[in-house]
Amino acid sequence: MTKESKPTLAARRAFLTKLGGAATCAAAGAAALAAIPGASAKTEPAADGAAFPTKDYDWTKHQWGFGVDATKCIGCLRCVEACKRENDVPANAHQFRTWVERYVHLEGDDEVHIDSQQDPVNIEASGSEKTFRFANRYKDAKVYKAFFVPKLCNHCTHPACVQVCPTGATYRTEDGVVLIDHGYCIGCRYCVQACPYGARYFNEEQGVSDKCTWCYHRITKGLQPACVEVCPVGARIFGDQRDKESPISLFIRNNRVQVLRPETGNAPNVFYVGIDKEVN
């Protein structure tokens, strides 16, 4: 073994010093975050007004897209909880920007059993309307086939919600995201009715419609949407379709993808792999 040179030793010492400092900072940071309930799950402040709209972000240079690999989803619902916290979605079991559906075929039963986290049985299992889990309701049954399907706004190319909005408060951005101007929405809920996917809800306290934005405040800073960030199995894929090597471009290229309800002509931009005929 050769004797290490002085510069190498110095560099290693400097690195260890930095590591120690970083560890101290991380510990202090974690302690501080732990003191704020719910904040520890976040990687960015929920609504940093000063940082949004993001400076130097050029929406003509991106075309965002979302992928769902249903074969990977384990129904842990971390995405649903992360979305609720990140976007201040009302803490109840009736309003969601994203949700997960469970499809179960039982042996000897032709009918598919579908539920989501809002189902009263699942709410009872989770114990509150703030945290979510799927109840183990089929433990005594013989399951023939079962899978989960994450759902969210499809950010359609021809969105029915945008078409019907009487004020133009909801609109499609250049980078392919459907947003709502909460300062201009009159709260007529025509968009909620027009969406064939049930992706919109009405925020009664704010008097406006709301839905998934693909975490626009995050993606314009180069971050991932909260649901994508927390998914432990990579069932949610997000990226720029203009970048041919981005996760979403590779997902679309390497899989036979499909969209929900293509017959509506809405042209969704959430692409699915591994869903069954009952899913719509």
Using CB under 8 A, list all residues that contact another protein. Answer: 90, 92-96, 99, 114-118, 151, 160, 162-169, 184-190, 192-202, 204-209, 264-265, 280
Shortest separation between residue 11's beta carbon and another protein, angstroms = 55
Shortest separation between residue 274's beta carbon and another protein, angstroms = 19
180/216 Cα distance (integer angstroms): 11
Nearer to another protein, 156 or 248 (CB): 156
Shortest separation between residue 249's beta carbon and another protein, angstroms = 29
Nearer to another protein, 197 or 214 (CB): 197
Nearer to another protein, 177 or 199 (CB): 199
User: Which distant-in-sequence residues (6+ apart) come within 8 Å of 146 by Cβ?
Assistant: 102, 103, 104, 105, 138
103/148 Cα distance (integer angstroms): 6
Exposure letters 155-183 (e unless 16+ CB within 10 A, then b): bbeebbbbeebeeebbebbebbbbbbeee
Give the single-character DSSP code of 39: G
For residue 217 the two structure tokens come to: 């405040």
Nearer to another protein, 18 or 158 (CB): 158
Shortest separation between residue 89's beta carbon and another protein, angstroms = 11
Nearer to another protein, 71 or 193 (CB): 193
Shortest separation between residue 212's beta carbon and another protein, angstroms = 11
User: Which distant-in-sequence residues (6+ apart) come within 8 Å of 244 by Cβ?
Assistant: 253
